[in-house]
Structure 1
Amino acid sequence: MNKDKRRLILERLREANPHPETELEYSSPFELLVAVTLSAQATDVGVNKATRKLFPRANTPQAILDIGLEALRESIKTIGLYNSKANNVYKMCEILVSQHGGEVPENREALEALPGVGRKTANVVLNTAFGWPTIAVDTHIFRVSNRTKFAMGKDVVAVEQKLEKVVPKEFKVDVHHWLILHGRYTCVARKPRCGSCIIEDLCEFKDKTEVA
């Protein structure tokens, strides 16, 4: 795909959604960090259901340490893998309190040193909480990037590196949100809704469908 076509795609996505936001519910960098950590192999809807129960009770690292691990587990038990996720969040809170004054560090290395936080989670937090032009690649973005031929790569890291290279600076803060929402609602995995896609004529996917 050439750069002119990529730019047209980004301009259309921006026109349709000028100020994209994550569908995870949060009101602070810490709440976002917890929500993204819980979202691994879970839907945003499922995570929001759990955090609506957790955050009114405890939404700071110290508050979660105060209610204890068992109460944390109980609050998020509707999410898959909740035991291991609760352990990670609790250990994360211990580190945030002891090493970062209870604040979420605006630093990739420090974020990735936290339990349960990998590159993708760090990218989401840096982008969404702090406005960095980072691009977190999940299964939706990986699929859309490869299927459309916008930014092809054999794994999520390769796609991230390609996106970093081909996305103009003015779009970098928002491109993660545009692509994930496009993959979640239009360019879905099994049968993409090409008939209702705003970039269908620019997409280089060969097996387009007529599903609206």
Structure 2
Amino acid sequence: MNTLKRREILTRLRDNNPHPETELNFSSPFELLVAVTLSAQATDVSVNKATDKLFPVANTPEAIYALGVDGLKTYIKTIGLYNSKAENVNKACKMLIDLHNSEVPENREALVALPGVGRKTANVVLNTAFGWPTIAVDTHIFRVSNRTKLAMGKNVDDVEQKLLKVVPAEFKVDVHHWLILHGRYTCIARKPRCGSCLIEDLCEFKDKTEH
């Protein structure tokens, strides 16, 4: 895909949604960190249902750590992999208390050192909480990037590095939100809704649908 076409795709996505936001509910960097950690292999909707009950009760490292693993599980048991997630969040809270003054560090290495936090989660937190131009590649972004040929790669790390290389600076802060939402609602996995896609004429996907 050439540079002009890539810029036009990003411009249309921006014009359609100038101020994109995550669909996870949060009101602090710590709440975002917990929500993103819980969202692995789960929907944002299911995470929000759990955190809407959890955060009014406990939304600091001290408060969630005080719940204990079993206490936390009672709030997140509707989310997939809740046992291991409760263990990881509990341990992460202890590390935030002991090592970071109970604050979420604005540092990738410190974030990925937390239990349950990988590169993708760290990228989301750095981008959404702190405004870094990071690009967190999930299954939606991987699919959209490869289908459209915006940034092709064999795995999420390849696509992330390609996007970081080809996406102009003015789009970098918001591009992962645009691509996630596009993949979630238009360029869906089984049958993309090409007929209602605002970048359909620019997309280089060969098996386009009419609907």
TM-score range, shorter chain: over 0.9
**Can you give the 5+ residue segments of structure 2 that lack an aligned partner in the other structure?**
none
One-letter amino acid of the structure 2 residue matched with residue 195 of structure 1: G
CA-to-aligned-CA distance 1:118-165 (integer Å, 9 cap, x gap): 000000000000000000000000000000000000000000000000
CA distance in 2, matches of 1:195, 1:128: 31
SS at match of 2:183: helix
SS at match of 1:105: coil
Say if 2:132 is the partner of 1:132: yes
CA distance in 2, matches of 1:201, 1:7: 14
Say if 2:7 is the partner of 1:30: no
Corresponding residue for residue 192 of structure 1: 192
Deviant stretches of 4+, over 6 Å: none
More moved, 69-78 vs 36-45: 69-78
Shift of 1:65: 1.4
CA distance in 1, matches of 2:34, 2:67: 15
SS at match of 1:111: helix
Corresponding residue for residue 170 of structure 2: 170
Corresponding residue for residue 122 of structure 2: 122
Corresponding residue for residue 97 of structure 1: 97
Corresponding residue for residue 45 of structure 2: 45
CA distance in 1, matches of 2:197, 2:75: 38
Corresponding residue for residue 80 of structure 2: 80
Shift of 1:175: 0.1
Shift of 1:31: 0.2
One-letter amino acid of the structure 2 residue matched with residue 164 of structure 1: L
Q: Normalising by the residue count of structure 1, what TM-score does the alignment of the two structures yield?
A: 0.99
SS at match of 1:83: helix
CA distance in 2, matches of 1:95, 1:201: 49
Matched residues, percent identical?
A: 81
**Can you give the 5+ residue segments of structure 1 that lack an aligned partner in the other structure?**
none
Shift of 1:208: 0.4
One-letter amino acid of the structure 2 residue matched with residue 116 of structure 1: G
Corresponding residue for residue 16 of structure 1: 16
Corresponding residue for residue 182 of structure 1: 182
One-letter amino acid of the structure 2 residue matched with residue 128 of structure 1: T
Corresponding residue for residue 157 of structure 2: 157
CA distance in 2, matches of 1:117, 1:37: 6
Say if 2:68 is the partner of 1:68: yes
SS at match of 1:68: helix
SS at match of 1:129: helix
How do 1:102-117 and structure 2 match up within 5 A? 102-117=102-117
Say if 2:196 is the partner of 1:206: no
CA distance in 2, matches of 1:67, 1:108: 27
CA distance in 1, matches of 2:74, 2:9: 44
CA-to-aligned-CA distance 1:15-65 (integer Å, 9 cap, x gap): 000000000000000000000000000000000000011101100000111
CA distance in 1, matches of 2:86, 2:53: 14
